[in-house]
Amino acid sequence: MKKRFPYYLANRPVSANTELEVLDKYSGKRAARVAFADANAVRKAIVAAHKAREAMAAFPPDTRRAVLEHCVRRFSERSEELALTLCIEAGKPIKDARGEVTRLVDTFRIAADESTRLGGEVLELGISKRTRGYRGMVKRVPVGVCSFITPFNFPLNLVAHKVAPAIAAGCPFILKPAADTPLGALIIAEVLAETDLPKGAFSVLPCSNEDASQLVEDERIALLSFTGGLVGWDLKARAGKKKVTLELGGNAACIVDADPGASLDHVVERLVFGAYYQSGQSCISVQRIYVHADIHDKLRKKLKAAVSKLRMGDPRDESTFIGPVISEAAAERIEAWIAEARKGGAKRLAGGERAGNMMPAALLEKVPHDCRLYRGEVFGPVAFIEPFEDFDAALAEVNDSDFGLQAGVFTGRLDHALRAWDRLEVGGVVVGDVPSFRVDNMPYGGVKDSGLGREGIRYAMEDMTEPRLLVIRG
């Protein structure tokens, strides 16, 4: 891995004097230095992107596809480098890091396909004598400059879900990656710089939150897409007239019915994946597990045993399942939430003591409904289990949340599956699996405090374009 990374301003690398240190999240040692953009650089990026609007809109769809296909090839060629970079800057176990690289490639491949499918419609306007002879057609056109702000937990794929549809839709963009994990985004920019995108089409700028305020407030920007915490609502309030899409997390729940529709061993395997994959640092990580009383004790025993066996350690080790969380401060917060729950009467079934930013996988029961572990998003390797007697009551428990991103339901009953789809106040219901399941072409987003709008390439492209009507009087 390189030791120094430039930022990218209007398609070109810039090695600035002010540098950001990126740490190896496992060792705590400096892994790389990154050029750090200032307010002037952000201003220049906005000006360049604004000038590039017409060129990007006129950039032919087949050429957009060629750019995205080039990215697919280059990311595939550099897959192991990208995975190791993720492992170092995010502390993501190497197997998980390789999985994210696969999703990066998939996301750009989907965008390449969708870039030539941005259609419209023909309208029948002859609805009365007054409108006879009129014809209507609608096409979708790029909204203009987009600004993107991404978090640390998926440094490749969450960037891809903004950048790839922007290129496919013909929108210039400025991206601010998370300061903790900027390297993956800068490698993506390095590959984009190899293409024939119009000058000013993209900038990737690690910068301070203060300097990034221009990406929220500048009126030349047509769309803001933010993935992160609840501060997103404040950004929306400051964004003025521009479109805003937000993905702000959740405290995802999973219901295990009396007849789960699968073996308990399979259910436990999926719950463990959903709750503890990449140390629970996912917006759709399983946090709340509701199990029917008829099978609660059996599932509890199996789940406790499985969680207790999870291997924690160096993320470069192929056998590691639990790596470090992003920082010691994050680990201290997770530890405090567990302590608060236990003080309120919760019992820890599995887990251990924190060591720096290494947080063992924890499983609890009897968690008080008024504590932060129940109400908030823990964003760590923690889940709790709770029994229920009535399926409708379990649905109500899932809905008793300020969040609503995705929910999982293990059930062998079709009527229960459909009832969950009808009643759960979430953006997506996953039947037969955990809420942590995501395919990169599906609509992804939530309701309530979980956000606004949807990602998934085609759905993001709809946000990044707007309909334009043509009426012809024949």
Task: Give the model confidence (pLDDT) of 276-310 as tens digits.
Answer: 999 999 999 999 999 999 999 999 999 999 999 99
Asked whether residue 1 carries a pLDDT value surpassing 80, the answer given is no
Q: What is residue 104's three-state secondary structure?
A: helix
pLDDT tens, residue by residue, 370-405: 999 999 999 999 999 999 999 999 999 999 999 999
pLDDT number for residue 129: 94
Q: Quick one: tokens of 236?
A: 């929306």
Q: What is the mean pLDDT of the chain?
A: 97
pLDDT for 16 equals 86
CA distances from 146 to 52, 140, 166, 172, 232 (A): 12, 16, 8, 6, 16
Contact 285, 319 (CB under 8 A): no
Q: Residue 407 above 90 pLDDT?
A: yes
| Model pLDDT, residue 96 | 96
Model pTM score: 0.96
Mean pLDDT of 149-153: 97
| pLDDT given at position 29 | 96
* % of residues, the chain, pLDDT over 90: 98
Contact 434, 224 (CB under 8 A): no
The residue annotated as part of the active site, out of 71, 283, 371, 377, is 283
Q: What is the pLDDT of residue 18?
A: 79
What would the pLDDT profile of 415-438 be if each residue is shown by its tens digit? 999 999 999 999 999 999 999 999
Which one from 247, 377, 386, 462 is the annotated catalytic residue? 247
- Count of CB atoms situated within 10 Å of the CB of 60: 11
Q: In angstroms, rounded to a whole number, what is the distance separating the alpha carbons of residues 192 and 53?
A: 17
Whether 340 is catalytic = no
With a cut of 80, say whether residue 458 has pLDDT above it. Answer: yes
Decide if 283 is catalytic.
yes
Inform me whether the pLDDT recorded for 163 exceeds 80.
yes
In the prediction, which pLDDT does 411 show? Answer: 98
